[in-house]
Each structure stands twice: as structure tokens, then as C-alpha cells.
């Protein structure tokens, strides 16, 4: 990923919020989440990313966040962090010591 591109997540009055910049933070584009509040995000390259949040929410994108697909986490506890080492292998962590692991990109 280049130093001008970044994605941040959070919440607003409508729920989950995703903001993305491609110009080093001069401007930010809002991306549709349609979920509960989001608490963590990780991208392995400019296109492939995962966001996690309240109620066990996991979202995945393969187009730089233009679209996000909901993935099943198997839990309803808040997930607060996520990291991937490549497009397939990653971990999400959350409340109560919850640790989720995938080797299939979350499928």
C-alpha cells in the first residue's frame, strides 16, 4: 500500500462508518457500511481489507472499499481488532478474550 492511502473506521448516528483517503488525508471519502459501529480495520494491499466491529461484525472488501461484504463471524461479541498477514490468513480479537482465525480470507 502506498503512503497516501488509508482507511479508518468508527461510528456515526447511522452506525458503522468507513472513511478512505488516497491523497494523504487531504480529502476523505465516506464508504457505506450498513452495520453496527466498526472498531478495527486491516488492509493487506490497496484493494483487500477487513473491518470488524460491534455484534461480531466482519466486513470484507476486494475493491479498495468500494463495496463491503458481510462475513459470518460465529459470534455476537464486539470485535475490536483485526490483522491479516496475507489475503487469506488473519485474526480478529474481541471482548472476553475472543480470538478468531481464518486461513480462507474469512470465508
SS (H, E, C) 34-50: CCCCEEEEEECCCCCEE
Tally the domains of the chain.
1
- For residue 70, the enclosing domain spans 6-102
Q: Cβ–Cβ contacts within 10 Å for residue 2, how many?
A: 8
Assigned domain for 58 exists: yes
Residues 6+ away with beta carbon under 8 Å from 95: 77, 78, 79, 80
Q: Per residue of the chain (107 residues), what is the pLDDT tens digit? A: 688 999 999 998 888 999 999 999 999 999 878 888 999 999 999 899 999 999 999 999 999 888 999 999 999 999 999 999 999 999 999 999 999 999 999 88
Position 12 scores a pLDDT of: 87
CATH number at residue 31: 2.120.10.30
Q: What is the largest CA-CA distance in the chain?
A: 38
Assigned domain for 15 exists: yes
Residues 6+ away with beta carbon under 8 Å from 22: 4, 5
Position 1 scores a pLDDT of: 65
Position 34 scores a pLDDT of: 83
Position 82 scores a pLDDT of: 98
Euclidean distance between CA atoms 42 and 53, whole angstroms = 12
Amino acid at each position: 500500500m502506498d503512503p497516501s492511502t488509508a482507511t479508518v473506521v468508527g461510528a456515526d448516528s447511522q452506525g458503522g462508518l468507513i472513511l478512505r483517503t488516497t491523497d494523504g488525508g487531504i480529502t476523505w471519502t465516506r464508504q457505506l457500511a450498513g452495520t453496527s459501529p466498526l472498531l478495527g480495520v486491516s488492509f493487506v494491499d490497496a484493494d483487500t481489507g477487513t473491518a470488524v466491529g460491534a455484534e461480531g461484525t466482519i466486513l470484507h472488501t476486494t475493491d479498495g472499499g468500494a463495496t463491503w461484504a458481510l462475513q459470518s463471524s460465529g459470534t455476537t461479541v464486539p470485535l475490536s481488532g483485526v490483522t491479516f498477514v496475507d489475503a487469506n490468513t488473519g485474526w480478529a480479537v474481541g471482548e472476553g478474550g475472543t480470538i478468531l482465525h481464518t486461513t480462507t480470507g474469512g470465508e
